[in-house]
Amino acid sequence: MKTRVFAAFLLILGGLLGWFVGTSNTDTSRFPFRLGLDLAGGSHLIYHADTTSVSEAEIEGAMNSLREVVERRTNLFGVSEPIVQTESTFDGEHRLVVELPGVTDLDEAIRIIGKTPVLDFRIEKTNAEGVTTYEPTGLSGRFVSRAQLQFGQASHSASPNETLVLLYFNSEGAALFEQITREHVGEVLGIFLDDAPISLPVIQETIAGGTATISGNFTPESGRELVRDLNFGALPLPIELISSSSIGPSLGAETLNAGVLAGLIGFLLVGLFMIVWYRVPGLVSVVALLMYGSLVLAIFKLIPVTLTAAGIAAFILSVGMAVDANVLIFERMKEELKAGKSLDEAIADGFKRAWPSIRDSNLSSLISAFVLFWFGTALIKGFALVFMIGVLASMISAITVSRTLLSALAFDWARSRAKLLFGSGIK
């Protein structure tokens, strides 16, 4: 009785999950499917990041800061769900990959990324030939927490009504700024924006507190623009666009529709085979697969997972994994029935004997997916994540849902009828 009550609970839960997936797939829903660039359309940009100005130990931190700044800036420009990632090539090149769903105007996409200024501080040095150069100090825009506009009357050292820009550094930047000003008192600290000097003040004393003032002959309009851009995020590293492409929304919709159609056809063919070949257990497996699909799609919405064409392929592949587990179970059940066991004993022993094979195959799949996710590119990571979720859900579906539903059907069938309804084959 408890088994049948639990089976009824699982069926109700599966129905609720299916209802949630079906009714939440609208533009106004809090939980729509998040579609990747190849399905939703948009722009794909690849930038080369110039890391020559930072040490090898600082590259990873600088690249992470670059990713965060660009992601924050694209969000502030209203781009929906941008994807910003960093990657390194085998020859040591560092790249920034930006995907902007819904932005199909490449010029607009490039403007969104390229408008961010590159800010850094350099100490003036004069070599033996009398040539003035500026050496990097390591202090750059990635240490700026915020910027603020100020006018001259608020500062004793500035001319009346002079437009000033105040920079507030984070804790790391404040410590570095204090160290630079302490070690270079009496020297010129050049403030460069996009490699052009905008202010060349002389360090009069050690400056603590993490605040720097820039006076660069700004007009109120240019000062406001610089403050706005710096608050949006100053790039910690120079970047150069090396590749760009755009995918139209119609092409993305075609890819999505083709993937969904392929999944439906595959599911119907598999379901038909399972019912014809395995009869009642096959019908149970179809119900379990429907519940499995509802569970996985609900997880995609709630995490949320960005779905791409590769992700849809991984989902379809995981459906095959779920079917494979059911086939193992049903074949073991058939052997137990042939050995003369009752139906409930055959079901229990069939699951018990099939479990080691199901466990080992799914563990090997999870290990492969984890390796792909850890070492793969962005496209491969998406495939691996969807596949991992699918494999885990398929184990739950096969071991919990299928077993419970079959056990709930284990009435006191006549032996001949049990073999007919719970056997396999077309005879």
Q: Which residue in 132, 74, 135 sits closest to 108, CA to CA?
A: 74
| Average pLDDT rounded to a whole number, residues 89-110 | 81
| Average pLDDT rounded to a whole number, residues 320-328 | 83
With H, G, I as helix, E, B as strand and everything else as coil, classify residue 30. coil
H or E segment to which residue 110 belongs? helix 106-114
Q: Which of 41-55, 154-168, 310-324, 358-372 has maximum average pLDDT?
A: 358-372
Q: Which of 7-16, 57-66, 126-135 has maximum average pLDDT?
A: 7-16
Reported as a pLDDT band with limits 50, 70 and 90, residue 181 is: very high
Task: Quickly tell me which residue has 């755009």 as its tokens.
Answer: 246
Reported as a pLDDT band with limits 50, 70 and 90, residue 156 is: very low
Percent of the chain with pLDDT strictly greater than 70: 88
How far is it, in rounded angstroms, from Cα 73 to Cα 70?
Answer: 5
| Average pLDDT rounded to a whole number, residues 374-378 | 76
Write down the pLDDT at residue 47: 92
Reported as a pLDDT band with limits 50, 70 and 90, residue 128 is: confident
Amino acid at 135: E
pLDDT exceeds 60 at position 404: yes
pLDDT exceeds 60 at position 426: no
CB burial string 389-404: b at 16+ within 10 A, e below:
bbbbbbbebbbebbbb
Query: Domains of the chain, with CATH numbers?
Result: 2-37+248-422 (1.20.1640.10), 42-245 (3.30.1360.200)
Write down the pLDDT at residue 154: 46
Which residues lie below 8 Å from residue 159, measured CB to CB, with a gap of 6+?
Answer: 152
Reported as a pLDDT band with limits 50, 70 and 90, residue 19 is: very high
pLDDT exceeds 60 at position 307: yes
Whole-model pTM over 0.85: no
pLDDT exceeds 80 at position 49: yes
Pairing of strands 34-35, 306-307: parallel
How far is it, in rounded angstroms, from Cα 407 to Cα 293?
Answer: 22
What is the chain's mean pLDDT, rounded? 82
How far is it, in rounded angstroms, from Cα 63 to Cα 82?
Answer: 17
| Average pLDDT rounded to a whole number, residues 9-36 | 84
pLDDT exceeds 80 at position 78: no
Task: Quickly tell me which residue has 């497996």 as its tokens.
Answer: 285
Considering only residues 159 and 387, tell me which one the structure prediction assigns the higher pLDDT: 387
pLDDT exceeds 90 at position 176: yes
DSSP, residue by residue, 135-155: EEEEEEGGGEEEEEEEEGGG-
Pairing of strands 42-49, 239-247: antiparallel
Tokens found for residue 116: 């961010």
Reported as a pLDDT band with limits 50, 70 and 90, residue 370 is: very high
Write down the pLDDT at residue 182: 93
Residue-level length of the chain:
427
With H, G, I as helix, E, B as strand and everything else as coil, classify residue 296. helix
Write down the pLDDT at residue 77: 57
